[in-house]
Structure 1
Amino acid sequence: MFTTTNAVGRLVCFVFLLGCWASFPGLGQAPPASPLARTIRLNNPTGTLGSVLAEISQQTGLSFGYSNDVVAAAAPVRIPAGPQTVKSILDAVLSARGLSYTLLDQQIIIRKKPAATKSKTITFSGYVRDAATGENLIGVTVVQPGTGLGTATNTYGFYSLTLPAADTVRLLVSYLGYQQAQWTASGTGNVRHDFGLPVATNELAAVEVVGSREEKIVQSTRMGTINVPITQIKSLPRLFGETDVLKVLQLLPGVQSGSEGQSGLYVRGGSPDQNLILLDGAPVYNAAHLFGFFSVFNADAINNVDLIKGGFPARYGGRLSSVLDISMKEGNMQKFHGEGAIGLVASKLTLEGPIKKDVASFIVSGRRTYIDILARPIIKAQLRSEGEEGSLGYYFYDLNGKLNWKVSPRDRLYLSAYTGQDAFYSNSRREAGETFDQSSSELGWGNLTAALRWNRIINDRLFVNTHFTYSQYQLDVGVDQSSRYRVNDELRSDRFSLSYLSNIRDLSLKSDFEYAPNPNHYIRFGGQFIRHVFRPGALQSNDNIGGVSSQINTVNRQLGNEANLYLEDDYRLSERLKVNVGLRFNSFVIAKKLYPSLEPRLAARYLLTEDWSLKASYARTSQFIHLLANSGIGLPTDLWVPATARIKPQQAQQFGLGAARALRFKGEDYELSFESYYKPMRNLIEYQEGANFLGNTETNWEDKVTSGNGWAYGGELFLQKKSGRTTGWIGYTLAWSTRCFPELNQGRLFPYKYDRRHDASLVIIHKLKDNLTLSGSWVYGTGNATTLAQGRFSLGNSQDNYQDYGGRNNYRMAAYHRLDLDLSKTKKKKWGEVVNSFSLYNAYSRRNPYYLYLKEGKVDAAGNLEESTYKQVSLFPIIPSFSKSFRF
């Protein structure tokens, strides 16, 4: 059972919630009565239909919309005298004439009642795409104006909308950054129609802050979900000129970076392994390059980014903290196109185009650093000056590819792949006659993913996506040393070699069904089977020292099978209440040990007014894999291991409560949201004191770890401006994250390493001109927790001093804050465009702490020992960078 801890912290969090709640004007008040329920008295109950409608409008402020061909304004009417509701008056004067009406905001739409037909409903379905490229558009709103009935396209751009049958039906299609499209259909049968949306001519429309979806935050049932447009990601400041998806996500409330410059994600008090990162449906187990300073995602190859922090829909599972769902571009179906960039540390190029126009397309994208190439002459010269020959370097690369084929109007195939690798290498040789010393070492890690997906429209209301995926993450460490030397005129040789490998591989088959029977229901269901192959560590060691040989060969391989089924429904219970309710069943089998898990999911939205909504959510989650994280500075030596008969799966519950409001100020739109959460976690694992991934390699990893529980809770405030020449957001998080392990810290509660009480961000993107953009971001965070010695002691007459560390994570580093700036100018060319960007990372050169070390005191001239002190190491001062990107 989950236990409750830190009552004072929860009380403060609750007070914070009440404070934010109280600051929202009108919250908690009863929703206003409908204008149709208002009682009025007509001055002239007998007259024409037009005069009655005009008098209702004068007394109530309501306006009427109708066609003169439908409403005969000169027709005589007679209304009983006395006070009546607006609804009763309209029912009396319109129903008898075969007319119906709908209230939309402050306007009443009058239309003919639909004629009786053989079919009571019509289903409209199809795809919505970019008119220029053929790229499917995700989250496009498709509505019937005047009724409030509508839907949104799914991850593959497909929509299905079932409406009451009528002689003519009009659909309105809208998506931020694109021109709206309208279409009128006639007839009574089901209709298949695809839309092609042109990009909006107003360039400002392409610079949207978080949320490229048309659905307002007030209307959505989902909590903790943010969509990040690629245009925004490319507009923000960058480190070393590299656009980074994950660093943009770190600017959102509830998301932390961990350490200076790191691209890792710590979401709502969780650890990096608790984030499910999907690239075209395939999991990515290590999303970091350059020891965590860059992510593996090339923004030029990405179409859509969704981050879910809480209220997880039932279709997602396997992690406790978040889901990061990234979709690659599909390739331009109309014409050949390319883009790329040249930066200080890396360059990239993306090419896409049709294989057969409107039938098949491709996209390939590559990126590589050239730090090793630029530094090679300097390093070789330095080694030669020390009497050695050799080299030392580091590089990383990414390759993305995707094929897209329209097999038929109802079938579509996608084949996508990604591979990326980091490599650090060092070799040196020193010779003196017949003797020499030679050494080489390599450290490499990388991902490989592949996904084959088949979309099929089974019928106008039922869509299915089946995909087969492969994913691998692997770490390789290699060391080889040899020497030849003389001992008493005898020439001897020694050699030592070590190879260490750790990896995880997944094979997965999954089918997802989407069924839209009517506008009040959107049902999803499906299942998945995953075959996990874990190799936490395989060590080979050979040595021949002084003529004595020894050999170590250990292999640790484990197999696990994971299966799940889910069902969820996005259900509109009334005009004000909408829920997303689901159930997920997970199971994991390893070495004949079965771990079943039943996970209910619920998210609800209640509209107080058209601009205010309350939201609540609950999710139970389980995770069958663990990450053994070494305490350090981001080396890729963290190992993926499974739940076993001894190590139980991680489990969590997350409760959420919040409010959202749509604001309009001086003609521009804003969105304000507040979310609070409470997340108890259990069966977390950590290394035992003093253990690590290479120590005592003959010991099973299960003997090196200990299990415990964790708690995370807090509140997040988010205000964003989504349109206009100046866009941006303000985010603030007040949070707690604690852990308790019986075998660590004497069983006492301690703060998680990345527990931050306060976290704030300010982001501004401003269009100085149509071709000139200035952006900036400022972040502030409470310092990370760390463990420092608080004193020394000795035992008996021993001369050895021992350090007393007190509690785990007993000290806070200095607060972290940083300002980044970027100025980008676009130049139009005959063949395309060029964007020159100049960025300043850490613009006021704040010396933020990276880690602390103990500087031992020295003995002075009088024989007294000086006091030992901790010194701070900072990583990045102000760093200017320049990049040039291009499109053709």
Structure 2
Amino acid sequence: MTYLFFFQYLAPSRIFISILIMLSVSGICFAQGYGSLRGNVVDSLNGEALPYANIILEGTERGATADLNGNFIIRGLTGGKTYTVNVSFLGYRTLTQEVKIDADRISVIRIQLSPINIQLQAIEKIGEKYNRPNETDLGLQKINVRDIELLPKGVETDIFRSLQFVPGVQNTGDVSARYYVRGGGSNQNLVLLNGVSVYNPFHAFGLFSIIDPEMINALEFYKGGFTADYGGRLSSILNLVTKDGNKNRYGTSATISFLTGKASVEGPIPEGSFIFTGRKSLFRDILRKFINYKNAPFDFYDFSGKINFLSQNTKDLTKISISTFNSLDQIKNEDPLKADYEWINNIYSAYWFQEWEDVPIYSETSASLSSFTGEIKPNESEAKQRYNKVKDVSFLADITYVSESSDEIKVGMSIKSIKTETKFENLQGTRTNLSDNGLHLNIYAKYKLLRWEDFGVDIGTRVNVLTLAKNKGSVLEPRVNLTFRPLPTIAVKAAWGIYTQDLITLVNDNEIITIFEPWLITPDYLRIPEAIHYVLGMEINQIDNLTISGEAYYKFLKNTAEMNENKASSSDPDFVAGKGEAYGIEMLMNYNRDIIQLTLSYSLSWSYKEVNGWIYYPKYDTRHSVTSNLNINLGNGWQTSLSWFFNSGLPFTQIEGFYDKLYFDDLFFSGGLYGYYLPFTVLADKNLGRLPTYHRLDLGLTKQFILAFTKISLSVNVLNVYNRKNIFYFERDTGARVNMLPFMPTATLKVEL
């Protein structure tokens, strides 16, 4: 294993704070005679925010991109001048509007864009995608509701499964929606729903996500090098924002697939809107194909609700949201020789967004409760008991100032009170009961330098004032993310940062399917896990509608909590400290023009773990990965998609042989010594073998049409078109080969009123 010791200990913490303060002071200046433009962009039909909409001032080099709430601000505009504002968004008609800017004032506009009928997209020019040239977005993938609608559906659209199209994201096959980012474990990925941590975001043994894509308006996925806004995980951040509901009229929808049935209702309320969605498992036959045709009485549902209140003041933008999310999974077997399973997620949150009148400042405040309870009840089976309960009460607040030069200063704080309770039994039959609680206080600050069009830098740090674990890690978590354009069509990007994670999970690397991963606070005998990210990237926009980007990364992990497979008594520790590293190269090509969307990606990667001085490949280590996705709008409401996946073989532990092992029932039996022989498996070194390559082709066809006052969408999809027999695993007792999904046609029907 290679270690970059020089870079590992390169932590410029001493000069980091002084640079941040110096930049902040230089950015806070008020120029006389200049004004600002603030606004938000929404869909004209339902009032939903349009994240990442593009706002350009004609005849200038000034512009902005709307945030997740559809809001934007442009500063440093000449007072007393009238500007022509162009607002565009993919799938919507571009809007042009004139706005007069008053000196020393902030002008506010509310923009409504009209969606283009899908049947006309083949013949009518629509808004183009545009990013700010100096945007510090290395490692960030932005996906809006239009992109979500184009995601490959499979059995039904699943956001977690769709992440595999992002280079650097690995999975272990068709049977799990768990994802692994740049050599990190699945427990190192933070999933946020409206800013609240989701601790077990999976249905049915991890086969599907609990997040229904139809309730999502936009998402941001950071696969590394994320800035000081986020913390608490070592590898990635998935930030999901739900829809607000139709602000103009009441509406309902119902969808049925081979897996679930779901429904939603939404509409306006005084000074706001609401939306409620629900999904319930209906059919079990399709799930049997995911688990080698074994019977499992899956039963799950998820429910979400959101109520929003919007300011009617024309001079500021205020939004208050109250939301809830609940999910339940149950597997109850009538046979007492089989185990029962149950998982429950409950999330409640309140959110307040405020853009203050006549000052270029906005703030975000939220309070939330997130809880998870999971249990495996062995009954009379050979399954091992597991029980986990997590309760997370959080309060977050931050404030952002935008200077005349377009620079941004952001400061905030996060307080978390977390309580965990865990019970489990290892393979040797040793039982462990752990209960702990703690308070985590974090302060963060960053400066976003955006005053030059060809250069941008986001520099900041998180300060861990209080940690959940007693053995503290790094007090400072400095982060840097920068972009430089030597030419208008070429951007060079880089990121570096230190990351810590107080919460760990009980993970058994030998499990083929992970039922669920119990969460707990890092034990006192271990230090807090820590990671250092180094990322270098390049983006080329030489040809219209075509973007080619590449990234190279190195990630060093230390103090990772690994399950102690040698624990034999209650006095032995449940975890041992490990370390690891991951590095690789990723390429991504996006082509988007009118009726065609094409995405091609390739990644070459290596990842290693070291536990007790033993180095091995983790089960998700994949050397080569290729994905492609083609979407074509055929017109007249028809749309087709084609997706192809290729991965080199995953590691596995080979069997070297068997022998008959003598077992004794009672060594102290006075009547004599009796024993019996059973076959015993001899295993090779861990994960030195490689499974055959994996590849699969999926096809999809969707038709949208309007019948009376009803909008109908019918999708037909075929998974594994050429019936590739991708291996899942070999059964160790029989040597039988178990494959992943076979050729499988599915269909989904959606009706909207």
TM-score range, shorter chain: 0.7 to 0.9
Q: Which residue of 2 aligns with 1:169?
A: 82
Correspondence 1:158-557 to 2 at 5 A: 158-170=71-83, 171-181=85-95, 182-201=97-116, 203=118, 214-216=129-131, 219-240=134-155, 242-356=156-270, 359-371=271-283, 393-407=297-311, 409=313, 410=316, 411-428=318-335, 442-459=340-357, 460-478=359-377, 501-537=387-423, 556-557=434-435
Out of 136, 139, 143, the residue aligned to residue 56 of structure 2 is 143
Aligned with 2:697: secondary structure?
strand
> How many angstroms does 1:337 deviate by?
1.8
Distance in structure 2 (CA, Å) of the matches to 1:715 and 1:413? 42
Mark the CA change 1:239 to 1:290 in structure 2 (over 3 Å): closer, same or farther.
Answer: farther
Aligned with 1:571: secondary structure?
strand
Correspondence 1:680-759 to 2 at 5 A: 680-689=556-565, 699=570, 703-742=573-612, 747-759=613-625
Mark the CA change 1:589 to 1:219 in structure 2 (over 3 Å): closer, same or farther.
Answer: closer
Out of 632, 647, 651, the residue aligned to residue 781 of structure 1 is 647
> How many angstroms does 1:305 deviate by?
1.2
> How many angstroms does 1:593 deviate by?
4.9
* 8 Å CA contact 2:101, 2:107 repeated in 1: no
Mark the CA change 1:477 to 1:120 in structure 2 (over 3 Å): closer, same or farther.
Answer: same
Aligned with 1:518: secondary structure?
coil
Distance in structure 1 (CA, Å) of the matches to 2:351 and 2:512? 38
Aligned with 1:427: secondary structure?
coil
* 8 Å CA contact 1:167, 1:187 repeated in 2: yes
Out of 814, 839, 854, the residue aligned to residue 717 of structure 2 is 839
> How many angstroms does 1:661 deviate by?
0.7
Mark the CA change 1:351 to 1:202 in structure 2 (over 3 Å): closer, same or farther.
Answer: closer
Distance in structure 2 (CA, Å) of the matches to 1:118 and 1:251? 46
Q: Which residue of 1 aligns with 2:728?
A: 850
Mark the CA change 1:727 to 1:204 in structure 2 (over 3 Å): closer, same or farther.
Answer: farther
Give the TM-score normalised by structure 2. Answer: 0.86
* 8 Å CA contact 2:63, 2:132 repeated in 1: no
Q: Which residue of 1 aligns with 2:452?
A: 574
Q: Which residue of 2 aligns with 1:16?
A: none
Q: Could you tell me which amino acid in structure 1 is paired with residue 137 of structure 2? A: R
Aligned with 2:545: secondary structure?
strand
Distance in structure 1 (CA, Å) of the matches to 2:529 and 2:287? 44
Mark the CA change 1:780 to 1:811 in structure 2 (over 3 Å): closer, same or farther.
Answer: same
> How many angstroms does 1:479 deviate by?
5.4
Aligned with 1:246: secondary structure?
helix
> How many angstroms does 1:570 deviate by?
1.9
> How many angstroms does 1:399 deviate by?
0.1
Mark the CA change 1:135 to 1:141 in structure 2 (over 3 Å): closer, same or farther.
Answer: same
1:557-580 Cα offsets, whole Å, 9 max, x none, are: 200211111112221353322111
Q: How many residues align?
A: 696
Mark the CA change 1:710 to 1:375 in structure 2 (over 3 Å): closer, same or farther.
Answer: closer
* 8 Å CA contact 1:338, 1:887 repeated in 2: yes
Give the TM-score normalised by structure 1. Answer: 0.74
> How many angstroms does 1:683 deviate by?
1.0
Mark the CA change 1:646 to 1:453 in structure 2 (over 3 Å): closer, same or farther.
Answer: same
1:406-435 Cα offsets, whole Å, 9 max, x none, are: 25534321001111111000125xxxxxxx
Distance in structure 1 (CA, Å) of the matches to 2:691 and 2:423? 34
Distance in structure 1 (CA, Å) of the matches to 2:287 and 2:623? 41
Correspondence 1:512-661 to 2 at 5 A: 512-537=398-423, 556-572=434-450, 574-590=452-468, 593-630=471-508, 631-661=510-540
Unpaired segments ≥5 residues, structure 2: 6-29, 289-294, 664-675
Distance in structure 2 (CA, Å) of the matches to 1:849 and 1:582? 45
> How many angstroms does 1:654 deviate by?
0.7
* 8 Å CA contact 2:499, 2:530 repeated in 1: yes
Mark the CA change 1:440 to 1:748 in structure 2 (over 3 Å): closer, same or farther.
Answer: closer
* 8 Å CA contact 2:258, 2:286 repeated in 1: no
1:43-84 Cα offsets, whole Å, 9 max, x none, are: xxxxxxxxxxxxxxxxxxxxxxxxxxxxxxxxxxxxxxxxxx
Q: Could you tell me which amino acid in structure 2 is paired with residue 290 of structure 1? A: A
Greater Cα offset, 552-561 or 264-273? 552-561
Q: Which residue of 2 aligns with 1:388?
A: none
Distance in structure 1 (CA, Å) of the matches to 2:185 and 2:412? 28
Q: Which residue of 2 aligns with 1:880?
A: 745
* 8 Å CA contact 1:442, 1:478 repeated in 2: yes
Mark the CA change 1:802 to 1:261 in structure 2 (over 3 Å): closer, same or farther.
Answer: closer
Aligned with 2:655: secondary structure?
coil
* 8 Å CA contact 2:68, 2:218 repeated in 1: no
Q: Could you tell me which amino acid in structure 1 is paired with residue 475 of structure 2? A: S
Unpaired segments ≥5 residues, structure 1: 6-116, 377-390, 429-437, 483-495, 540-551, 857-869
Mark the CA change 1:204 to 1:721 in structure 2 (over 3 Å): closer, same or farther.
Answer: farther
Distance in structure 2 (CA, Å) of the matches to 1:886 and 1:800? 59
Q: Which residue of 1 aligns with 2:668?
A: none
Greater Cα offset, 809-818 or 119-128? 119-128
* 8 Å CA contact 1:423, 1:444 repeated in 2: yes
Q: Could you tell me which amino acid in structure 2 is paired with residue 610 of structure 1? A: P
* 8 Å CA contact 1:530, 1:562 repeated in 2: yes
Q: Could you tell me which amino acid in structure 2 is paired with residue 518 of structure 1? A: E
Aligned with 2:149: secondary structure?
helix
Distance in structure 2 (CA, Å) of the matches to 1:118 and 1:813? 64
Mark the CA change 1:375 to 1:716 in structure 2 (over 3 Å): closer, same or farther.
Answer: closer
Q: Could you tell me which amino acid in structure 2 is paired with residue 680 of structure 1? A: F
Mark the CA change 1:245 to 1:590 in structure 2 (over 3 Å): closer, same or farther.
Answer: closer
Greater Cα offset, 706-715 or 584-593? 584-593
**Relative CO higher for 1 or 2, CA cutoff 8 Å, sep ≥ 6?**
2
Distance in structure 2 (CA, Å) of the matches to 1:374 and 1:612? 47
> How many angstroms does 1:885 deviate by?
1.0
Distance in structure 1 (CA, Å) of the matches to 2:384 and 2:137? 50
* 8 Å CA contact 1:472, 1:506 repeated in 2: yes
Q: Is the radius of gyration larger for structure 1 or structure 2? A: 1
1:737-774 Cα offsets, whole Å, 9 max, x none, are: 001111xxxx2321111111000001000122231111
Aligned-pair RMSD on alpha carbons?
A: 3.2
* 8 Å CA contact 2:468, 2:502 repeated in 1: no
Q: Could you tell me which amino acid in structure 1 is paired with residue 149 of structure 2? A: K
Greater Cα offset, 256-265 or 278-287? 256-265
Q: Could you tell me which amino acid in structure 1 is paired with residue 213 of structure 2? A: A
* 8 Å CA contact 2:467, 2:502 repeated in 1: no
Distance in structure 1 (CA, Å) of the matches to 2:129 and 2:447? 21
* 8 Å CA contact 2:77, 2:101 repeated in 1: no
